Structure 1
Amino acid sequence: METLLNSRQIQLWRVAIYFIFALTGFAFASWVSRTPAIRDALGSTTAEMGVIIFGLSVGSIIGLISASILIAQKGGRFVMVFGLLVVSIGLLIVGISGSWLTNSLIVFIGLVVFGFGQGICDVAMNVEGTAVEKAAQKSLLTGFHAAFSLGTLLGALFGSTMTKSGISVPIHLSLTALVIVLTVLYLYRFIPADTGREAASDSFKVNRTKEYMAVWKEPRTIMIGIIVLGMAFVEGSANDWLPLIMVDGYNVSPAMGSVAYGIFVGSMTIGRAIGDKILDRFGRVIVLRASALLAFVGLIIVILSHSFVVATIGIVFWGLGAAFGFPVGLSAAGDDPHRVAARVSAVSTAGYLAFLVGPPFLGIIGEQVGLLRALIFVLIAVTISGLLSKAAKPIGKQNDLEMDSKVSNSLKL
């Protein structure tokens, strides 16, 4: 960032990014809240709906891969604004085609558009978040991800209200799109225009695809990617399977399964809300090790316990442990301003790969040995992430290394 910003400008920039994170969560939850209505309108089976929803995954992956090129050429602000506008268009397509036109193919296309917008915005807002961290000289990315969780909660509540009020899907998703567009058009002025942008000589002479692949030759980036892959698997396994794990493994009602999931989400949100202060106090490495340990202990309790009440204690640990891996990994990927967009994009792709592939893999294993036993694979993933956590040590800083030394010396004593 060539332009020096004063404290008020940094504060406004920071607030704007909080809202950007919240808007992406709000948009995603708004779509999810109307999936039953869209499925019924289309008359789709569960399998057919699964194929339709796959459009979201296709668009997201394309967006994640494309984001570094767009950011390098246009800057993070442009990509975030463009991404959220594309998200709004995707919501309109899905709402109209899913309820009024009842055309499955157009819904699929709408979800590809929606996923692409989410994908490029996801990378851009994380690149922007790492830049705000550097300008403010404090850890902020975990708090930004807490804003995403809060936006998801608000989107779910808004969707529930629209559904109970009998508001049609197109009207609901159109209102959601309107909120997103008006908010982002107001906020963009507070965001610097050149975050992540590279000079024209670099931007056009270098093959961006090769540059994207080149970052995966860096040992530190590979290890950070593995950390995020494992921790995203920890988070994604709960998001997709926790209610069913409780229902099948503990013989509780679906309502209680939903309560268990609510406990997980609440714990993870609380962890992210207070995470920035913890990170500033103890450093990334210690926090990642502690979060991996918390998730490990929580999973052990859930796997071995025979009591639902005791299992909920494990779920709290699980949620707290899952809170840090993804945002801390992305923050670490953004340490070096050179190729920052490529690194954040690559690490984000690793995380989303875990979100997309991990839960189905868990379901296949769970079909053979039961979902509770299948969680052993999640234990393995979180253990590997914990063991590699030192890779997230800030470049050019000794905070985490000094903290490691203090901890090691105390253990020797």
Structure 2
Amino acid sequence: MNALVRERIATLGVFLANGFGIGAWAVEVPRIKESLALSDASLGLALFCFALGAIVAMPLAGRLAPRFGSGRATALLGVTFAIALPLPALAPGMVTLCGVLFVLGASNGALDVSMNGHASALEARWHAPIMSSFHAAWSAGGLLGAATGALLQKSGVGVVGGLLAPDIFIAVLIMAAAVLALRDIGPRAAAASSGFAWPDSGVMKLAMLAFLCMLVEGAIADWSAVYLRSTLNQQASVAAIGYSAFAFSMAACRFAGDASVRRFGSSRVVALGGLLALAGLALVLSLPTVLTACIGFALVGLGLANIVPVIFSAAGRTSATPAVGVSMAATAGYAGFLIGPALIGFGAGLLGLRVALCVLVIATLIVSLLGGNAVRGTRPA
């Protein structure tokens, strides 16, 4: 097995581990909310601390790759993420929860930047489009993490065990990846990890679309189970079915992402994907049942699955170098992923959760209307 193959397998492992952790965290949010008797607005504030930690850490993460190497920085930040993941379950109150979520958000945001920068450098060395496979691994991890969390809840495992048990698997996976490969693969990785400027005019539209898509994705990760639990009045393991359906459909569709773009074209994938996501959200919000939750969130996952990879690719073609364009779009996208949950929380405190979630419908409508033209306006690959 040559070095690049080992590096790809190791990087896939890190994406899988990070997605697994986020999936496990997503299904524990309702139980943490209930155990601390938090209102929707209080939970929104706590999730804002998660976003704030990531926003602070993301620019700093770019300095680690030049110093330690992109692979070693990814391994280090992966270990940090594994250490931070169980901390919210141990928080005795709101203030402590905000503090540990700041730490968890910082570790997750830094890992996001580092592993995507490393993957971008690896893709350049591979001389073929492989970025969708990394995002597919992340989505598969989210599905497995959510399913594992739901099973642990159904078995009577408490909140601490619900995060600690998945965390053991995550730590083992990251350590195995670090031993297998995760080495510095050149200066291109450092450049991809350190571009944090706000997008210029050439990629502004693409960055905005990435922001909106990942805002929806982040909001679903943290609020879908809360919404279904409050609406359906079901136990937490049943409420988690919405995120599970979303993660499963997204993972499955991303494995076929490159083939879909070749068959239908990137602009059509973005426009039709936005429509599918809009229809799924409308179904869940207008008729919330267990069946419609499965169908609706699955449609959202199918719709959004390949939009962000297409946007990243288009941004790379638009800027002076692919690494610069991808880093700009990724920064905006991950900002949306982190801000979305907090935005929904604050909106829920003012208007109610169902009304606040209508923001996601508007976001997918904008993506559907503007996304196709924005992608079509870039140079062909």
- Bin the TM-score by the shorter chain: 0.7 to 0.9
Shift of 1:272: 1.6
1:222 aligns with 2:204: yes
3-state secondary structure, aligned to 2:81: helix
Tell which deviates more after alignment, 159-168 or 135-144. 159-168
> Given the superposition, is the C-alpha separation of residues 172 and 380 from structure 1 closer, same or farther in structure 2, using an over 3 Å criterion?
closer
- Give unpaired runs (5+ residues) of structure 2: none
Shift of 1:304: 5.5
In 1, the alpha carbon distance for the partners of 2:36 and 2:286 equals 38
**In 2, are the aligned partners of 1:20 and 1:184 still within 8 Å (CA)?**
yes
In 2, the alpha carbon distance for the partners of 1:106 and 1:256 equals 28
Equivalences for 1:236-275 in 2 at 5 Å? 236-243=218-225, 253=234, 257-275=239-257
- Give unpaired runs (5+ residues) of structure 1: 1-6, 400-413
Shift of 1:256: 5.6
Q: Which has the larger radius of gyration?
A: 1
Deviation by residue 1:237-287 (Cα, 9 ceiling, x = unmatched): 4334445555677x6745664434433332222222221321244443232
In 1, the alpha carbon distance for the partners of 2:221 and 2:117 equals 25
**In 2, are the aligned partners of 1:27 and 1:176 still within 8 Å (CA)?**
no
- One-letter identity of the residue aligned with 1:122: D
> Given the superposition, is the C-alpha separation of residues 58 and 392 from structure 1 closer, same or farther in structure 2, using an over 3 Å criterion?
same
Equivalent in the alignment of 1:183: 176
Deviation by residue 1:281-331 (Cα, 9 ceiling, x = unmatched): 444323212211222333444455698756754443222112123333334
- One-letter identity of the residue aligned with 1:126: N
In 2, the alpha carbon distance for the partners of 1:302 and 1:120 equals 33
**In 1, are the aligned partners of 2:49 and 2:101 still within 8 Å (CA)?**
yes
Deviation by residue 1:330-389 (Cα, 9 ceiling, x = unmatched): 344445796766654443332233334334444555667665555553333223223134
Equivalent in the alignment of 2:78: 84
Equivalences for 1:195-214 in 2 at 5 Å? 195-197=188-190, 212-213=196-197
**In 1, are the aligned partners of 2:69 and 2:190 still within 8 Å (CA)?**
yes
Shift of 1:144: 1.5
**In 2, are the aligned partners of 1:285 and 1:393 still within 8 Å (CA)?**
yes
1:318 aligns with 2:300: yes
The match for 1:192 among 185, 188, 192 is 185
In 2, the alpha carbon distance for the partners of 1:177 and 1:106 equals 24
Equivalent in the alignment of 1:357: 339
3-state secondary structure, aligned to 1:219: coil
Deviation by residue 1:106-140 (Cα, 9 ceiling, x = unmatched): 66554434332321221222223333444444433
Identical residues among aligned pairs (%): 26
In 2, the alpha carbon distance for the partners of 1:123 and 1:220 equals 22
In 2, the alpha carbon distance for the partners of 1:219 and 1:296 equals 27
1:287 aligns with 2:269: yes
**In 1, are the aligned partners of 2:47 and 2:101 still within 8 Å (CA)?**
yes
Shift of 1:227: 0.7
Shift of 1:37: 7.8
Shift of 1:17: 1.9
> Given the superposition, is the C-alpha separation of residues 257 and 166 from structure 1 closer, same or farther in structure 2, using an over 3 Å criterion?
closer
Equivalent in the alignment of 1:406: none
3-state secondary structure, aligned to 1:318: helix
Shift of 1:228: 0.8
